Amino acid sequence: MAAEEKGMNIIHITDPDDPGLELFTGLSETKLYHYNEPGEGIFIAESAYVILRALEAGYSPISLLVEKARMEAEAEPVFQMIREMYGNEYAEEISVYTADSDILSDLTGYSLVRGLWAAFKRKAVPELSEFCNGKNTLTVLYDVVNPTNVGAIIRSAAALGMEGAVLTHASVDPLTRRSSRVSMGTVFQLPWTRISKEGSAGTRLIRDLKDLGYKTVAMALTNDSVCPDDKEMLASEKLAIVMGTEGDGLPREVISECDYRVKIPMMHGVDSLNVAAASAVIFWEICKKRQ
């Protein structure tokens, strides 16, 4: 069945400067984040798989941009889920912009991934104490600024049974296009929250997690480190695994404030793994212990 016959508001684009495309081409991700201040902003999801995960997680779609060749095979399941979740009237109000691939390739500074984008409304993120309620295993992304690493860490956390992710203010937003795509949509499945600039300062977040009953674990190359399978550490009822940014790692004061320091044994003179790979190793040890 054609998309038009399914009640979607299809708008055919012939000009890449069409004002209807502003959300997709005219605004940076930072501007989208602040789009509705003081309310919640907007984010863009790429590819049918990621968009479907966002819909399943209850994010409300605003508009879509679809390459014509993708309308039936890839966009149709998205249209169907929108109708099932929100009803025909809501679906008919969502603008679905569509154009040939040569028009889309002219969108300055952007490359359309798999021919399908969707703009969504954000949700409010909870305060730390509310977020941590009922969760025993967390990953803490401390100033992780690479969107690929953020997406990969969250994907590993979801796959290996971690119960949530806490990100400092300086960490990359998990809903950036690249992070959500690398995560294979798990940024919509794994609960996460992002801490304010004030709450992220210095060692405050580590102290707050301790006050909430967590044993904090810094992934760090220090002489007093233990291995990821340390029995005492893994026996802790509540664990928060703190991961630092690529290159510099965790600040010295954060490492000192944590209850444990973990170092993965290396061979052939390699000093460390990429932070996303390291996260999977420690998450797997926690997963094995708690199965």
Beta-bridge partner residues of 139:
165, 241
Residue 229: burial class (beta carbons within 10 Å; 0-12, 13-18, 19+):
middle
Give every residue of the chain whose pLDDT is below 50, as ranges.
1-5, 108-109, 112
Residue 16: per-residue pLDDT: 72
Structure tokens at 65: 């941009």
Helices (H) and strands (E) in the chain, counts: 13, 11
Confidence (pLDDT) at 90: 87
pLDDT at 144: 96
Which residues on neighbouring strands pair with residue 46, listed in sequence order?
Answer: 117
Task: Give the side-chain half-sphere CA count within 13 A for 166.
Answer: 29
Token pair belonging to 85: 């979740």
Helix axes 76-86, 48-56, angle to 10 degrees: 10
Please tell me the predicted confidence (pLDDT) of residue 3: 45
Give the pLDDT score at 2: 45
pLDDT for the residue 106 = 64
Residues 6+ apart with CB under 8 A from 290: 137, 161
Q: What was the pLDDT predicted at 68?
A: 87
Look at residue 5 in the predicted model and tell me its pLDDT.
45
The pLDDT of residue 108 is 42
Write down the pLDDT at residue 149: 96
pTM: 0.90
**Domains along the sequence of the chain with CATH:** 4-121 (3.30.1330.30), 128-290 (3.40.1280.10)
CA distances for 205 relative to 48, 146, 213, 258, 264, angstroms: 36, 20, 13, 11, 24
Buried b vs exposed e over 63-98: b needs ≥16 C-beta within 10 Å? bbbbbbebbeebbbebbebbbeeeeeeebeebbbbb
Q: With beta carbons less than 8 A apart as the criterion, state whether 174 and 57 touch.
A: no
